[in-house]
Amino acid sequence: MLLPCALGLAQEFDAVVSDQNRKPATIFDEIPDAAERRAFQALYQERDPAKRLDLAERFLRTYPRSGVLAEVYEIAAKTCIELNDYQRALEYASASLKLLPENPLLLVSVADVQARQGLTQQAEQSAREALGELARFARPASIPEQGWPNLKRQLEASCYFALGRAAAAEALRAPARERGWDLLHRSEAYLSEARRLNPGDPEIPYLKGLTDLALGRQDEAGADFAAAHRLGGPIGSQAAGQLQKLYKTRARPGTTFEAFLARLEAKQELSPATKPVENPASPEPLPAYAGSQACRACHADIYEHWSQTGMARMFRPYRPENVLGDFTRANEFYEGDDGPWQTGRVEGIPGKARPLFARD
């Protein structure tokens, strides 16, 4: 179950500012070099996956110190997923997450790919990190407010689906007599939560049906396969094949397949609602910071000495008079420049090649 890869293209580069800005600056405006900006824009606008991947790799070779490397690595990762090149997808995703680790939209895709590839421990870790970030962070500014609740539910469903797939794969990897029944039950709970969050995805009840079969719950498996069959698509066809197998072994003599299917669907409608699974990555509330004032009463001398240090001054509330230096002018730094210390100050000497390196 993969969310459309276009999700990452359409919503992560629209704006990089707060909701309150009336004229959101696009990420293109943050790229000062004109050639680099055109290259990134061409990459962003390309819709053919193979061409997009080629542009991404060319960008990475040409601009290895770009300020948008995390975004380009992410585009490359999601494009590789579209092309079913999962190994390279994970490599590019890892590079993006090293630069920008708090990216739940990418982590969700990574967790799904890892689960599909049998990397169960990594998939579980990625899914839990994504769930924690979805619970902790507010809506990204680039996503419309009215669309965020539904998208967030789908992302959470994808996380629980990855957790369910990973748990089932780990359980079924062992011999039958050593099978991890606890893992299968855990998988069933994760998949039930995924279906509660996203009832329109047929892959969720299909995998839950396979899990129920492994647990010996053929009636429950039949109800799950019937739900997947009703939702249609390629997974619906696979579910129909599973239903035919159950029909041959479970249907009463003289019962038509249609009547057998109707009974399973009725059973699904009458089944009690599943209790929501507790988020395995729910963030715990952070303790309040006591502050240096809490030490003053018992350690007055130490407090007074510390209050005169540079570290203490860094924690003072902002006041213009406390700022040392003028950061409104001459605040850009370029590669290739030299800055020798002369007459008590740094003298900037422009170099020949001057790509922008940093801005205060």
- Tell me the pLDDT tens digit for each residue of 343-352: 767 677 777 7
Residue 49 burial (CB < 10 Å; 0-12/13-18/19+)? middle
The confidence band for 280, taking pLDDT boundaries of 50, 70 and 90, is low
Count, residues in the chain: 360
**Tokens at residue 41, please?**
């824009």
Tokens 């990190």 appear where?
129
**What is the per-residue DSSP string for 254-285?**
T--HHHHHHHHHHHHHHSPPPPPPPPTTPPPP
Average pLDDT score over residue span 142-170: 91
* CA-wise closest residue to 59 among 43, 45, 44: 43
Residue 21 has pLDDT above 80, yes or no: no
Q: Does residue 58 have a pLDDT over 70? A: yes
- pLDDT at position 178: 60
Q: Bigger pLDDT: 41 or 264?
A: 41
Using alpha carbons, list the distances in angstroms from residue 297 to 99, 210, 346.
Answer: 43, 65, 43
Residue 314: pLDDT band (50, 70, 90) is confident
3-state secondary structure of 87: helix
What pLDDT is attached to residue 51? 96
50 CB neighbour count, 10 Å cutoff: 11
> Is residue 7 pLDDT above 60, yes or no?
no
Q: Are 179 and 192 in contact (CB under 8 A)?
A: no
pLDDT at 139 (0 to 100): 83
Q: What is the structure's pLDDT at 285?
A: 57
What whole-number distance in Å separates Cα of residue 331 and Cα of residue 323? 15
Q: pLDDT digits over 223-279, tens only?
A: 999 999 889 889 888 998 998 888 888 777 778 888 887 887 776 665 554 555 665
Query: Which of 91-95, 133-137, 246-250, 262-266 is least confident?
Result: 262-266
Q: Note the pLDDT of residue 302.
A: 83
- DSSP state letter for 338: B
**Nearest Cα residue to 26 out of 141, 149, 104, 152:** 141
For residue 8, what pLDDT is reported?
42
User: What is the helix, strand, coil percentage profile of the chain, to 5?
Assistant: 60, 5, 35
Kindly indicate the confidence band of residue 206, based on its pLDDT and cuts at 50, 70 and 90.
very high
**Is the pLDDT assigned to residue 191 strictly greater than 90?**
yes
Task: Calculate the average pLDDT of the chain.
Answer: 81
For residues 144-171, average pLDDT: 92
CA distance 261 to 269: 13
- Residue 13 DSSP SS3: coil
Q: Which of 57-71, 93-107, 122-136, 325-339 has the lowest mean pLDDT?
A: 325-339
Q: Which secondary structure element, helix H or strand E, spans residue 341, and what is its range? A: strand 341-342
Q: Is 39 a residue whose pLDDT tops 80?
A: yes
Q: Over the stretch 103-119, which tens digit does the pLDDT of each residue have?
A: 999 999 999 999 989 89
Mean pLDDT of 298-325: 76
Neighbours of 79 (CB within 10 A): 28
The pLDDT, as a whole number, for residue 261 is 79
Q: What was the pLDDT predicted at 76?
A: 97
Q: Give strand pairing partners of 342.
A: 345
Q: What is the pLDDT of residue 264?
A: 79
| Token digits of residue 149 | 């609740």
Is residue 178 within 8 A of residue 134, CB to CB? The reply is no
Give the per-residue pLDDT at 9.
Answer: 34
Tell me the two tokens of residue 233.
Answer: 């698509």
CB of 186 within 8 A of CB of 167? yes
